[in-house]
Amino acid sequence: MTDWLVFQSADIAASRVLQHAPTRMAPFDFPFISDWVNRSHHYGWPYVFKLYWFWKGSLTQSPSNSSPKERSGVTTRYWDCCKPSCAWSGKAAVSSPVRTCNSQQQVISDANTKSGCDGGTAFTCANNQPWAVSNTLAYGFAAVKLSGYTESQWCCQCYQLTFTSGPASGKVMIVQATNTGGDLGSNHFDILMPGGGVGLFNGCTAQYGSWNGGAQYGGVSSKSQCANLPSIVQSGCNWRFDWFSGSDNPSVNWKAVQCPSALTSISGCTRNSQAGGAPGTGGSTGGGGTTSTSRSSGGGGGSGAPLYVTDEDDIGQCGGTGWYSF
């Protein structure tokens, strides 16, 4: 009877301490508890209470709500004009699929419209190109593939990338995942930037009538070549050589963050439950390029992507040095 009262007291105390923590029920481990009862005869009830409290605490902590930790990753670049994966319905629990645009940059309302890379009329909107918010902070969109996660978890989630190599080292970019790369490696962010290379599929000719975007993988090799692209996407191409300082597939440290409204207003997609904390504001590293906290979300832009790599239009592309090595 004494042992029972001890554990009743321990359970009540532990529950009160942890009542505000996210809970995840687990089966009651009677053999384990019985062992604690036996130990109580030798060590006393305070020892048992302490062990029980930590055991219950370990069961009630929710991994999805833990503090975000940075992980290392790699980046590449692409701009294939295809309908992004997260633009299809049913990919994740979101407000609506990522927006797509037709060849006149008008937003398409039907999420089931066929991709322009598969003979349809849905393309990546021009306003999915990256832009500088400040000398040390930029916003944009990306195709991703993350170890231990699935498309339903990363579709329309935002991530903070801190570049750790190359001329952009120390700068920060917040990207919203709008596509899934079937040809990407682990913890890989394929950043959308015009003139970044079309990769396996080229929907740009169908969308713009002609496309002179440089090499299939890697795209243009100088800022002057950005002038060969349609005028509506030249600013995103220039961004690569201005704010991004011509970086070629830099490594990153990344973590999930809440999406800035400047990104979700373009993509039209917000997760019902976002992971991570508030996004950073960049460091003190110098930089360049026009800065702005927002970009138009109307015609001439659109957004990102969801998942299910089952069709060619669902596969993100990558380019730049080492694109094939991951």
In tens, the pLDDT along 166-190 reads 999 999 999 999 999 877 888 999 9
Provide the pLDDT for residue 77: 97
Host H or E run for residue 131:
strand 131-132
Q: Cα 15 to chain center, whole Å? A: 35
Higher pLDDT, 307 or 217: 217
Higher pLDDT, 1 or 259: 259
CB 267 within 8 A of CB 304: yes
Model confidence at 305: pLDDT above 70: no
Is there a catalytic annotation at residue 80? yes
Higher pLDDT, 12 or 101: 101
Model confidence at 60: pLDDT above 90: no
Mean of the per-residue pLDDT values for the chain? 77
- Annotate 227-266 with b (16+ C-beta within 10 A) or e (fewer): eebbeebbbbbbbbbbbbbebbbbbbebbbbbbbebbbbb
- The pLDDT of 26-33, averaged and rounded, is 38
Is the entire prediction scored with pTM above 0.75? no
CA proximity to 232, closest of 301, 292, 297, 291: 301
Measuring CA to CA, how many Å separate 153 from each of 18, 68, 140, 159? 27, 15, 19, 12
In the structure encoding, which two tokens stand for residue 43, read together? Answer: 């060590």
Is there a catalytic annotation at residue 3? no
Position 295 confidence tier, pLDDT thresholds 50, 70, 90 = low
Model confidence at 106: pLDDT above 70: yes
User: Rounded CA gap, 175 and 288, in Å?
Assistant: 19
Model confidence at 263: pLDDT above 90: yes
Provide the pLDDT for residue 245: 98
The active-site residue, picked from 11, 29, 80, 110, is: 80
The active-site residue, picked from 29, 110, 190, 314, is: 190
Higher pLDDT, 247 or 304: 247
User: Rounded CA gap, 50 and 273, in Å?
Assistant: 34
